[in-house]
């Protein structure tokens, strides 16, 4: 009975983690990174519990298999279904990270670029020497 309760507990933790990961994936895809970031504490706690459960299950696989074979089979099946969802989540997070890194690189390059006048000055004077860019503007509506 304890073996079945343990497997059930790990399955429930996995279900909650799966729901949270799917919600995080949807938020990141929708560009709601702040809302997705707010899920991080809950996600870390669920990952901790899930990892502890998996480690315990591996250490006691023989006993669990003998005492609750159906529960162990259900746990294995759910774990195998969990993997593709994790891959999708990691791909979405990786894409979001790459986009953010590209934005930061473009902004840094633009801010560090020298401004060069392309026209003549008043009275037909030659353009001034290049000067460093002065400040940046951030559009927070995006």
Query: Is 135 within the bounds of a domain?
Result: no
Q: Specify the pLDDT at position 140.
A: 63
Q: How does pLDDT run across 10-54, given as a tens digit for each residue?
A: 999 999 999 999 999 999 989 898 899 899 999 999 999 999 998
Domains identified in the chain, total number: 1
Q: How does pLDDT run across 50-79, given as a tens digit for each residue?
A: 999 989 999 998 998 899 999 999 988 988
CA distance linking residue 27 with residue 10, whole number of Å? 26
pLDDT greater at residue 115 or residue 110: 110
Six token digits for residue 88 = 């999708």
**Residue ranges making up the domain that contains 35:** 2-114
**pTM exceeds 0.75, yes or no:** no
CATH of the domain at 94: 1.20.58
């Amino acid at each position: 009975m304890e073996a079945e309760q343990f497997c059930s507990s790990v399955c429930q933790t996995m279900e909650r983690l799966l729901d949270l990961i799917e919600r995080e994936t949807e938020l990141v895809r929708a560009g709601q990174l702040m809302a997705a970031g707010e899920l991080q504490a809950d996600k870390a706690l669920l990952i901790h519990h899930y990892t502890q459960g998996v480690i315990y299950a591996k250490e006691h696989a023989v006993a669990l298999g003998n005492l609750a074979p159906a529960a162990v089979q259900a746990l294995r099946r759910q774990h195998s279904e969990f993997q593709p969802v994790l891959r999708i989540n990691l791909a979405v997070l990786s894409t979001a990270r790459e986009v953010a890194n590209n934005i930061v690189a473009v902004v840094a390059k633009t801010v560090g670029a020298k401004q060069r006048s392309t026209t003549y000055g008043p009275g037909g004077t030659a353009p001034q020497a290049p000067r460093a860019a002065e400040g940046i503007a951030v559009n927070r509506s995006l």
